[in-house]
Chain A
């Protein structure tokens, strides 16, 4: 399938406007195959923890993750209703097309 989402990259431009991402700890909920995750990674956060309930999509995201980003981007199967992280962990949380 060759559907291109947001070829003009307006989405990442809007996300840049919210403030600095460099050094932040980010949780992305609903990462799917990691389309937005990889764009966010270029903004320089210290860590992106990206979750999705679909095992297949997480596998695909892991496969598409460039090695140079592997230290900063972690994919995991997970649900927004039951986040397996301690309280007060993240600077930024992104609901990525999931609410």
Chain B
């Protein structure tokens, strides 16, 4: 990760901006929206180790003088999906928590089948945009 950040430093022009855009290191909330009304059903228990490692890598290249932090913006980022898509989406998360995934799918499936109206599944979590400026004195 640090190597990728140094490569980024190399290809940026002097004073160029590096934008680190990714989900915040918090557990996502999963719920159901029925006729425009959102109801939270559960919170995911996904591993956040990779997020912490990425944060450490960014901190490291800042401390080494490659970049200077300029700003940090946090905002909501929803994902809307059908019941079928939920299982596909969950495949993106580490597989050693299969039981937790199955429990989550069961909770959402039960809620989805019991509600009447126009409905969709919504996963909520913040996105974080960190803006760093290339420094020349590394």
Residues of A within 8 A of B (CB): 1-8, 10-11, 13-15, 17-19, 25, 27, 29, 36, 80-83, 85-99
Q: Are A11 and B77 in contact (CB under 8 A)?
A: yes
**Contact A83/B10 with A95-B21, A99-B58 known, Cβ cut-off 8 Å:** yes
Q: Is the CB of A87 within 8 A of B10?
A: yes
Q: Can you offer 7 A-B residue contacts whose CB atoms are under 8 A? A: A2-B81, A6-B127, A83-B7, A83-B11, A88-B11, A88-B14, A91-B12
Nearest Cβ on chain A to B115's Cβ, whole angstroms: 19
A-side contacts of B13, CB under 8 Å: 25, 88-91
Residue B64 at the chain A interface, CB threshold 8 Å: no
Binding site for A on B (CB under 8 A): 1, 3-5, 7-8, 10-14, 16-23, 54, 57-58, 71, 73, 75-82, 85, 88-89, 127, 129, 131
- A residues near B54, Cβ cutoff 8 Å: 99
Residues of B within 8 A of A18 (CB): 17, 19, 71, 129, 131
Q: State the CA gap A36–B77 with chains docked (Å).
A: 13
Contact assessment for A90 and B7 in the assembled complex, using a CB-CB cutoff below 8 Å = no
12 new A-B contacts at CB < 8 Å, known A6-B77, A10-B77, A93-B8: A2-B85, A4-B79, A4-B80, A17-B73, A83-B10, A88-B12, A91-B12, A91-B13, A92-B19, A93-B12, A95-B22, A97-B22
What chain B residues lie within 8 Å of A86 (beta carbons)?
11
